[in-house]
Amino acid sequence: MASNNGKDKSLESWIWDAACSIRGAKDAPKYKDYILPLIFTKRLCDVFDDELNRIAAEVGSRKKAFQLAKADHKLVRFYLPLVPDDPEQPVWSVIRKLSDKIGEGVTTHMRAIARENPLLQGIIDRVDFNATTHGQRDLDDDRLSNLIEAISTKRLGLDDVEADIIGKSYEYLIRKFAEGGGQSAGEFYTPPEVGTIMSRVLQPEPGMEIYDPTCGSGGLLIKCEIAMEEAAKGKKRTVAPLKLYGQEYIAETWAMANMNMIIHDMEGQIEIGDTFKNPKFRSKGKLRTFDRVVANPMWNQDWFTEADYDNDELDRFPTGAGFPGKSSADWGWVQHMHASLNDKGRAAVVLDTGAASRGSGNAGTNKEKGVRQWFVDHDLIESVLYLPENLFYNTTAPGIVLFLNRAKPKERQGKVFLVNASQVFAKGDPKNFITDEGIQRLADTLIGWKEEEKLSRIVDHAELKKNDYNISPSRYIRTSDAETYRPIAEIVEELKVIEAEARETDKELKEILEKIGI
């Protein structure tokens, strides 16, 4: 996304300089596994320096401040066992001055920091900077030295940068690597503007519990905290922070999410593991429920079977909904999110556009349409936002945001609010983006259910039923007089899933025929 913020730009330039300092040492998407832990450690060092200076102002010297912090770790948020020869020197200088066996030294220092701070164990000490593959260093000392020097050029103390340094660094690197390679090592990058719209529409309130079952680096959870704080500005009361909960499958990304939470000083818990098969947040043998749920699961996952749904012991997949077909777990994730909401809970999930329309208009039954119908008939869908094309890095398809509400106001019951934002974007290179004005316009429209020609419509359930439970805004709202066809990318994505579903049906039929000897 283009940014007019000069401060962000300098941050981005700094991060990219760091990435370029080791370019060629690893495949591009892997750079972050080295860069982000070092940026995180630099932040810890600089904040520790700030705390030491505060103590020194009271006791007379940094030397005494070091001694006091070592004797009583409670004086500082994180105690760093890095003591420069000259106590007046920055703590980071211990790492910066490494000149021999640098990879080994950095790894040793990170593990020492983790030992002193249980909260950082498994997070800061995951990466071996001295690792080898087939006898060859993955990141040699020369390049590692260049990286450390590049990171050293910016101070990351309490008054130097905003807390979102890890989140912004992560998002920026993922985006840059996606631009370079078309993909981002299988990771799904959620455009920041999409997360901002989701969080503003959900209107999280102080003290609420927010959950993301596929949390990545924690970006959507952080967006909810930011939205809550922005909405509470100027109000004469103490704002209780949100309690943030997430689960992430990839270990390195789980570590990034924890760094993000720590650096923001936010309350919550990030678990590791496969949410679909083994959700970690439970209470008294049942699925734990939350005030708000946000997610951007990988679209059209095809590795979950009907048995995964049938064997579920947490009542996530109700009778009448359940298995949406092998070729796409999109509505499986929606069911998990619905089951994770309390009685007044609301959710927002990013899905492939096909999730809104697949199966509608086809002769006969369709499992995915059946699940979609269940959600409409139970009046759980509050609104659907159709996004512009070419926002996401691993597809040109537009995507939708589905908003659920377990306690729709009486005046909105029996209706769904549809927004076709396909034209609300600015051209970017290589990807489009939604401007700040566009973000605010869409958020206000969705919150207020404001109908606007060629943008938004309130559609009652009878009309949805008449259209065979197609809930895609592009079906009901034309954005221009000349538009008569759906976007090609959307149709292609839909055809892929239909073909995969047909192959699965053929396979099942063949197995049945073989069993009965035909």
* Helices marked H in 134-209: 141-152, 165-181, 192-202
Task: Give 344: exposed, middle or buried? Use CB within 10 Å, 0-12, 13-18, 19+.
Answer: exposed
513 found inside a domain: no
Instruction: Encode pLDDT of 92-126 as tens digits.
Output: 999 999 999 999 999 999 999 999 999 999 999 99
Residues 278 and 392 in one domain: yes
Domain final position from 140, 161, 182: 161
299 located within any domain: yes
Q: Is the dihedral of CA 125, 129, 135, 138 positive or negative?
A: positive
Q: In this structure, is residue 506 part of a structural domain? A: no
pLDDT at position 195: 95
Query: Is 87 in the same domain as 212?
Result: no
Segments in 72-122 forming alpha helices (H) = 93-96, 102-116
The enclosing domain of 151 has a CATH number of 1.20.1260.30
Q: What is the pLDDT of residue 493?
A: 63
Cα dist from 259 to 103, 119, 264, 353, 405, whole Å: 21, 10, 8, 32, 31
Query: Distance between CA 32 and CA 189 in Å, rounded?
Result: 14
Q: Does residue 53 form part of some domain? A: yes
Residue 217 lies in a domain: yes
Q: Is residue 152 a part of any domain in this protein?
A: yes
At 460, phi and psi to the nearest 5?
A: -85, 165
Domain count, the chain: 2
Q: What is the rounded CA–CA span in Å between residue 261 and residue 383?
A: 30
pLDDT number for residue 1? 38
> CA 243 to CA 240: how far, in whole Å?
9
Query: The sheet that has 209-212: what strands, in order across it?
Result: 267-272, 243-248, 209-212, 290-295, 341-351, 400-405, 381-386, 415-420, 456-460
Q: Are residues 271 and 396 in the same domain?
A: yes
Q: What confidence score (pLDDT) does residue 58 get?
A: 95
Amino acid 182: pLDDT: 45
The reported pTM is 0.85
Q: What share of the chain is helix, strand, coil (3-state, %, to 5)?
A: 45, 15, 40
Q: Say yes or no: 125 and 222 in one domain.
A: no
**Strands 290-295 and 286-287, how do they pair?**
unpaired
Residues 232 and 308 in one domain: yes
Angle at 388 between CA 188 and CA 212, to 5 degrees: 35
Distance of CA 316 to the CA centre of its chain: 22
d(CA 60, CA 269): 39
Residue 124 to residues 37, 110, 150, 446, Cα–Cα distance (Å) = 6, 6, 20, 40
- Assess whether 153 and 299 both reside in one domain: no
pLDDT for 28 equals: 55
Pick the last residue of a domain from 161, 181, 202. 161
Question: Is residue 507 in some structural domain?
Answer: no
Tell whether 120 and 267 lie within a shared domain.
Answer: no
Q: How far is CA 31 from CA 24, 74, 96, 99, 305, in A?
A: 10, 34, 19, 22, 35
CATH number at 410 reads 3.40.50.150
131 and 231, same domain (yes or no): no
Give the CA distances from residue 10 to residues 14, 42, 161, 294, in Å, rounded to whole numbers and listed in that order. Answer: 6, 17, 11, 30
ω into 191 cis (within 30 of 0): no
CB contact at 8 A, 317 and 332: yes
In this structure, the answer to whether residues 451 and 379 fall within a common structural domain is: yes
Which residues contact residue 423 at a Cβ distance below 8 angstroms, ignoring those fewer than 6 apart?
A: 388, 454, 479, 480
Q: pLDDT digit string (tens) for 455-490?
A: 999 999 999 999 999 999 999 998 875 444 556 666
147 and 197 co-located in one domain: no
Q: Is residue 242 located within the same domain as residue 331?
A: yes
Q: Say whether both 45 and 153 belong to one domain.
A: yes
Q: Which segments of the chain have a pLDDT < 50?
A: 1-7, 9, 182-186, 236, 482-484
Residue 167 lies in a domain: no
- What's the pLDDT score for residue 211? 98
Q: What range defines the domain where residue 347 resides?
A: 192-478+486-494
Q: Within a 13 Å sphere around the CA of 117, how many CA atoms are in the beta-carbon half?
A: 24
Radius of gyration for the alpha carbons in the chain, expressed in angstroms and rounded: 25
